A and B are shown apart, each in its own frame.
Chain A
Amino acid sequence: MSAIASRGLTLGYQRQTIIEGLDIELPYGEVSVLIGGNGCGKSTLLKSFARLLKPVQGVVLLNGADIQQKPTAVVARELAILPQMPVAPEGISVRQLVSLGRYPYQNWMQQWSSEDEAMVARALARTGLEALAERPVDSLSGGQRQRAWIAMTLAQDTGIVLLDEPTTFLDLAYQIEVLDLLRELNRGEGKTIIMVLHDLNLACRYADHMVAVHQRTVFAQGRPDDILTEALVKTVFDLDCRVIPDPFFGTPLCIPFGREAPP
């Protein structure tokens, strides 16, 4: 059974079809990365995996069952999503933000339990934010803020975490920090991570499973070593490049050519 799968999935807005008739399986316990050009539909696909978008046709299966049939709170206990550029409520502290992740475990009767408290403390510790817990989220640096959001998804205590471009607008050091953290969560706690990334080389380094989205469907998927080729980059991104093994990590390294011909 896959963490997330789709059968005959068609997605679109109004009359525009974004994804058509897609069958996909995203494996348990791995880091899957969606790549593709701007507007190819990878973010839309990610949204449908989190039930933020209703399929025009077909189904999304979350842990083997149709996601549309599951109650909202159940979905939120199995899967967490961090959209692109999330906005925090005005003046909220890091601890309050992380506490929001416990929402699906609360109801009218059960307001705030010691387990909620423990999960929030654990999420703060896991992301190294204990010292900043009482600070307002607005006052954090970009990398710290992204860690606070990730901590919120951790407090949600789900087996699956979806992230839409979690490294956008972060400088290189913070990008690595965030990706390292996500990999640790995957290796250490067996979380299934599914994310959209723009940087092909970082995607190759951190992905166990890579999915290239192109022309309303999946163009190729598999281990980065197997699928990331010069031909794929040419088709999916319409870009000439050379792909060589990364001298340190061995994963594919894509060197794009511009208008200038390579020497």
Chain B
Amino acid sequence: MRLMIAAAVTALVALASLCLGKVVLSPLAVLRALFGEGDQSLVFIVEQLRLPRLLLAALVGAALSVSGLILQAIIRNPLASPDLLGITSGASAAAVLYLSSFAAVLGQRFIPLAAMLGAGLAVLTVYLLAWKQGASPLRLVLIGVGISALLAAATTFMLVFSPLSTTLSAYVWLTGSVYGANWAEARALAFWLLALLPLLVVLSRQVMVQQLDDGLARGIGVRVEWLRAALLMVSVALAGAAIAWGGAMAFVGLIAPHIAKRLVAAGFAGQAAMSALSGASLLMLADLAGRTLFLPLDLPAGIFVAVLGTPFFLYLLIRQRH
């Protein structure tokens, strides 16, 4: 029931994002443009400019949010998020390295690949360093924080020694932006996420038992280490892809799952669906704010994620107190 309301809200947010912008359209005009009717310039604005950008924002938000939900379960810590385990910082360092060293020759189209590689390498390093007869959640977090700090320092270092133009484009990427998204990007991310979906379904039963302590989980016959590694891989793949195409969008992966957990009862399937919806809505709203509030400026969505997400989260927490 609540999922349906959330889905309706998400759809409304999507419709609003299609309507608003430099050119304000009525919902009816948007719907007609979606079917290719009416003024062709409006059709172009809706179908080629706003829709792919909207879809990319929704997919990035949903992927980051579900990734955060899984990480919070396997790390057994409400503060866990893709930012904490080196996923974001690994992707950032790799992207900035690419922008400063290779972009001049190869162009910007390989940034997603570099970012994904960076995320994967960073988490692999964290996992291997955390291994001590198994990778305990606590060691994963501590080493993740350490590696993240190290990579952030490396990123800053590279930025300082890069020409200003590189620094600017890197900075927009680091804030997280879906500016100038096209269909190819939205489709690439959508395919990637669709490929991960079956894995997510198969592993969904494992997410709940990961939240038990290791003794209990092994007591009921869970192969804890294997499944923790598998779930970690899935969440890295989700967040890595999202960051690859959406930039280092901080905070979505932390706050959207928490919003979802306040809205639906425990149970992975429901919480994952709700997380995906809340992450998608949050990012679509953030991008809508970014491109309409300061017209003619088009600001990165990453700026508005915290501005929009935090008050709503605090509202939910305070309401629950009574």
Contacts and interface: CB of A to CB of B under 8 A. Distances in A.
Interface string B287-314: 0000000000000000000000000000
Contacts, number: 77
B190 interface: no
- Max chain A C-beta neighbours (<10 A), residue from B73, B216, B261: B216
B220 A90 contact: no
A193 B222 CA distance: 22
- Max chain B C-beta neighbours (<10 A), residue from A50, A82, A89, A106: A89
A6 to B, nearest CB: 19
B265 A156 contact: no
A103 B222 contact: yes
A101 B220 contact: yes
A87 B202 contact: no
B265 to A, nearest CB: 7
Interface string A74-91: 011100111100111111
Contacts of B211: 88-90, 92
B135 to A, nearest CB: 17
A156 B73 CA distance: 23
Contact of B220 (A51, A80, A89, A111): A80
B31 interface: no
Interface in A135-165: 136, 152, 156
A104 interface: yes
Interface string A53-71: 0000000000000000000
B208 A47 contact: no
Contacts of A72: 218, 221-223
B37 interface: no
User: Chain A interface residue count: which class?
Assistant: 20 to 34
A148 to B, nearest CB: 13
A106 B216 contact: no
Interface string B174-203: 000000000000000000000000000010
A203 B195 CA distance: 56
Nearest to A83: B215
B221 A47 contact: no
A93 to B, nearest CB: 7
A136 B73 CA distance: 17
B212 interface: yes
A83 B218 CA distance: 11
Contacts of B222: 72, 103
Given A111-B205, A156-B220, A52 B266 contact: no
A111 B202 CA distance: 10
Contacts of B220: 76, 80, 100-101, 103-104, 152, 156
Contact of A81 (B205, B219, B266): B219
A50 B219 contact: yes
B171 to A, nearest CB: 36
A92 B266 contact: yes
Given A72-B221, A104-B220, A87 B205 contact: no
Contact of A93 (B205, B213, B218, B265): B265
B209 interface: yes
Contacts of A156: 220
A93 B78 CA distance: 18
A78 B264 CA distance: 35
B38 interface: no
Given A47-B215, A87-B213, A103-B209, A77 B221 contact: yes
B267 interface: yes
Given A52-B215, A90-B211, A91-B261, 4 more contacts: A81-B216, A88-B212, A90-B266, A92-B208
Interface of B: 73, 76, 78, 202, 205, 208-209, 211-216, 218-223, 261, 265-267
Q: Give the 6 A-B residue pairs with the shortest CB-CB distance, closest first.
A: A76-B221, A89-B211, A104-B221, A91-B266, A81-B219, A83-B215
22 contacts: A72-B221, A75-B221, A76-B220, A80-B220, A81-B215, A82-B216, A83-B215, A87-B212, A87-B213, A88-B211, A88-B212, A89-B208, A89-B212, A89-B266, A90-B261, A92-B266, A96-B208, A100-B209, A101-B220, A103-B222, A111-B205, A156-B220
